[in-house]
Structure 1
Amino acid sequence: MERQIHMQNIMREKMMAMQIARARELFYWFGSFYLISCAGMLLGFKKTRKPLTLVPFLPLTFIVGYQADMAYGTKLHRIKGEAENILQHESHLVSLPLGIPGLTAIEGARLHHSKEESLQKAHEVFL
């Protein structure tokens, strides 16, 4: 049982590392897009002197800032803290509908599934 718990934890850590790596890779793309877009907006503003050319600057800044916080900042620590708070104080939000399935429910579902499979095979043979 302890080995299984350690194995599941290692798999969880690997999945989290993959998500962080994905966020960092996405940040590179967003950052590049942001820099190119900002350069284009500034050149457009310089030519036209219309402030509307700078409007996309604000939402793009929020998007890149969010992604930077996720990839390199403390966002994951804040998410983890909020998840711990939910588990401690609002556990009803994460409970399974109808509770945790017991052995009898699992066995009943398995038997029901095997009966359906055998009926399906018999129906296919009959046709």
Structure 2
Amino acid sequence: MGQSISNSMKENQKEMQKEMQKKQLELILKQRQTQLAIQFASGKEFFHWYASFYCLIFPFCVIGAIKKKVHFDIIQNPLPVVVLVPLGFVCAYQYDMFYGDKMKRIKLEAERLIEQESQLFYFPKNAKIVSQEEYESILEIKKIGN
């Protein structure tokens, strides 16, 4: 009788631990999702401000080049128009990141790195945080070539 009570208590403890782990994982995933959503929303907001700045500065640079009688002759004074090139790249990058498919490409590359080049993420040998073997067992890393 006492043995069966002890066994049922152990089973209850195991079930409670599984439930707690499940809830902790759920909280961690929700927190991660919230952090990513905030970062993504912040990036979109930055893009709106940056694109507004670019749209504002573009005509001024063109007008400045015309008033200096450059007439887009890059040899004489390219500065008013050349400034637009790097600003355009940054604007295009931001657009691709938040409205294009750049996040998907980044996610695919991250998945590839984790799967094929997991050694990049190992701790240094003298870090004394966790050994390479423990790290691999925690993350269930499959060794390539074995």
Same-fold status (TM-score > 0.5): yes
Residue 26 (structure 2) aligns with: 6
Verify: 1:85 aligned to 2:131, yes or no: no
Residues 15-68 of structure 1, C-alpha deviations (whole Å, 9 max, x = no match): 110111011111011101101110101111222232312111111110000111
Deviation by residue 1:58-95 (Cα, 9 ceiling, x = unmatched): 11110000111112111111111111000000000012
In the TM superposition, residue 100 of structure 1 has moved relative to its aligned partner by: 5.7
1-structure distance, mates of 2:39, 2:95: 14
Which amino acid counterpart does residue 41 of structure 1 have in structure 2?
A: C
Flag the structure with more relative contact order, 1 or 2, with Cα contacts below 8 A and sequence separation at least 6: 1
3-state SS, counterpart of residue 101 of structure 1: coil
CA distance in 2, matches of 1:101, 1:58: 47
> How many corresponding residue pairs?
102
State which of 61, 70, 73 in structure 1 corresponds to 2:88.
61
Larger radius of gyration: 2
Q: What TM-score, normalized by structure 2, do the two folds share?
A: 0.65
Residue 22 of structure 1 is aligned with which of 23, 42, 54?
42
Gaps of 5+ in 1: 103-127
Richer in helix (by share): 1
Give the CA deviation at 1:101.
Answer: 3.0
CA RMSD of aligned residues (A): 1.7
What residue is the counterpart of 2:63 in the other structure?
A: 43
Tell me the SS of whatever aligns to 1:9.
helix
In structure 2, runs of 5+ residues without a counterpart are: 1-20, 73-77, 132-146
